[in-house]
């Protein structure tokens, strides 16, 4: 059975990513002398799924790479089987199914499904690649991240290593920044009150300008710089068996829980130099879809609300890490849940003000710009202010839902460990040629 699994979660058509990362699976399999299968997890029903299936079948045969394709229908069947085995109460089963297959975009949902499949296949290491990226070349060869990641994971106490992107920079707050840095500072001060304007400006420049343009010609691994890693080019060992990602929908950063919790308990998070190339589609790059721009900004807002609560929770965990988690063992879910509840209660009064300031900053920035930029900023500000209560409530509830999932994760993992046959039946591409 495989010890490693490379996967791509996607909600878009991504033939280039499929080709690139199946090639990485093949490369790593040859390097390590053992099979490293490829898994594609589809988020939503779409016309391109049949195209993906055809491509996976052809590549699997040509490259002799074992591939799994979990479609939305297959995912639902798989989740229901696990939930039925892991929970007795109908209400618990319904909630677990909703958290594992959320309605809406959830950055944590794909990694959680991949974790369960990895357990079914007896994999201890999960390599993730996002579907809008591809490996970067060095000379005439591709610098596959997994070679460096798997090497780094051999270090003592290392459970997480990741890199970031080169290419198209993040879209976060670009319209706001075009109106003037003071509007971005208004938002950042809400969650980073101790930073000066200069420090905020430096962080933004590093994230939006410098890091996406920075490529490396040599291999190295170092301690993560704050905010430098991206989950879309990451590798985790074992801890996905004990710590799920947060399934909260319509929020950036819900897939950073494992990384953030490792930092809170004092374990290393490593950065490696084999970045992947990131590229937006034309519609997204040009931000011509107003509704998509608004939805993305709302996800940013919800992340700010989340981060205010998480910062409080992480401080509680960091004060007595041994009481909460000793990786890679199980988290004390009840203690974590109590701390999360306290953090939510303590920070809840500040959350409506953060959301209101987010909306007000966008409206004020709209008044300083014109054209499409002004229209987008105005739409974001209005959408935020119209639904402050909903965003605050859903983010707070997201912590309660996450604690519920964390407490029941061991039962789901136990069910997954007995599900290899079901995974093969639902997702294995082509015939089982490799035995």
Q: What is the pLDDT of residues 154-199, one digit of tens each?
A: 999 999 999 999 998 777 788 998 999 999 999 999 888 889 999 9
Query: How far apart, in Å, are the Cα atoms of 77 and each of 1, 105, 277, 402?
Result: 23, 20, 34, 22
Residue 435's pLDDT is what?
A: 43
User: Does 281 have pLDDT greater than 80?
Assistant: no
User: Does 338 have pLDDT greater than 50?
Assistant: yes
| pTM of the predicted protein model | 0.96
Sequence length of the chain is 435
Q: Please name every residue paired with 9 in a beta bridge, in sequence order, or none if there are none.
A: 41
Distant-in-sequence, close-in-space partners of 383: CB < 8 Å, separation ≥ 6: 294, 297, 298, 359
Please name the residue that has the structure tokens 């136990």: 414
46-55, 151-160, 280-289, 393-402: lowest mean pLDDT where?
A: 280-289
Query: How far apart, in Å, are the Cα atoms of 186 and each of 42, 191, 348, 368?
Result: 37, 10, 20, 15
**Pairing label, strands 125-129, 4-10:** parallel
Mean per-residue pLDDT for 206-229?
Answer: 87
Residue 288's pLDDT is what?
A: 66
User: Does 262 have pLDDT greater than 90?
Assistant: yes
User: Does 268 have pLDDT greater than 70?
Assistant: yes
With CA atoms as reference, report the closest residue to 249 among 122, 81, 110: 110
Mean per-residue pLDDT for 129-142?
Answer: 93
Mean per-residue pLDDT for 18-42?
Answer: 96
Share of the chain above pLDDT 90, in %: 86
Residue 157's pLDDT is what?
A: 95
User: Does 287 have pLDDT greater than 90?
Assistant: no
Tell me the pLDDT band of 1, cut-offs 50, 70 and 90.
Answer: very low
Contacts 24+ apart (CB under 8 A), 381-384: 383/294, 383/297, 383/298, 383/359, 384/297, 384/298, 384/301, 384/355, 384/356, 384/358, 384/359
**Cis bond leading into 225, ω under 30°?**
no
User: Does 427 have pLDDT greater than 90?
Assistant: yes
Average pLDDT over all residues of the chain: 94
User: Does 346 have pLDDT greater than 50?
Assistant: yes
87-96, 112-121, 161-170, 246-255: lowest mean pLDDT where?
A: 161-170
Where are any strands of DSSP class E within 11-74? 38-42, 67-70
Where are any strands of DSSP class E within 12-84? 38-42, 67-70
User: Does 53 have pLDDT greater than 50?
Assistant: yes
Classify residue 349 as exposed, middle or buried by CB count within 10 Å of its CB (0-12, 13-18, 19+): exposed
């Amino acid at each position: 059975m495989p010890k490693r699994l490379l996967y791509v979660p996607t909600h878009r058509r991504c033939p280039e990513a499929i080709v690139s990362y199946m090639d990485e699976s093949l490369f790593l399999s040859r390097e390590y002398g053992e099979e490293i299968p490829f898994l594609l997890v589809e988020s939503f029903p779409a016309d391109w799924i049949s195209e993906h299936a055809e491509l996976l079948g052809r590549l699997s045969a040509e490259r002799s790479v074992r591939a799994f394709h979990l479609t939305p229908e297959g995912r639902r069947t798989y989740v229901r089987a696990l939930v039925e085995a892991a929970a007795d109460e109908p209400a618990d089963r319904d909630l677990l199914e909703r958290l594992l297959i959320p309605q809406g975009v959830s950055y944590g949902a794909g990694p959680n499904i991949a974790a369960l499949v990895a357990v079914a296949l007896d994999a201890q290491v999960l390599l993730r690649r996002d579907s809008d990226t591809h490996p970067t070349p060095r000379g005439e060869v591709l610098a596959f991240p997994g070679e460096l990641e798997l090497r780094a994971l051999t270090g003592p106490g290392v459970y997480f290593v990741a890199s970031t992107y080169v290419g198209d920079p993040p879209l976060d707050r670009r319209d706001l920044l075009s109106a003037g840095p003071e509007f971005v500072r208004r938002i950042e001060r809400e969650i980073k009150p101790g930073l000066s304007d200069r420090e905020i400006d430096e962080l933004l420049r590093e994230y939006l300008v410098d890091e996406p343009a920075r490529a490396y010609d040599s291999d190295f691994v170092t301690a993560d710089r704050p905010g430098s890693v991206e989950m879309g080019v990451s590798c985790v060992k074992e801890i996905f068996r004990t710590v799920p990602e947060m399934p909260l929908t319509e929020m950036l950063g819900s897939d950073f829980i494992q990384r953030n919790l490792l930092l809170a308990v004092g374990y290393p998070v490593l950065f490696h130099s084999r970045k992947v190339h990131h590229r937006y589609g034309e519609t997204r790059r040009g931000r011509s879809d107003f509704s998509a721009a608004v939805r993305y900004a709302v996800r940013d807002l919800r992340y700010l609300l989340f981060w205010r609560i998480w910062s409080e929770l992480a401080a509680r965990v960091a004060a007595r890490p041994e009481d909460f988690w000793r990786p890679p063992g199980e988290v004390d879910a009840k203690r974590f849940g109590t701390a999360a509840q306290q953090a939510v209660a303590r920070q809840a009064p500040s959350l409506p003000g953060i959301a209101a300031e987010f909306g007000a900053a966008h409206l004020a920035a709209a008044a300083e710009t014109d054209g499409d930029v002004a229209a987008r900023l105005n739409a974001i500000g209005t959408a935020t202010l119209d639904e402050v209560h909903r965003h605050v409530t859903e983010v707070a509830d997201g912590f309660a839902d996450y604690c519920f999932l964390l407490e029941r994760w061991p039962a789901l993992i136990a069910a997954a460990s007995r599900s290899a046959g079901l995974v093969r039946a639902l997702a294995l591409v082509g015939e089982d040629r490799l035995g």
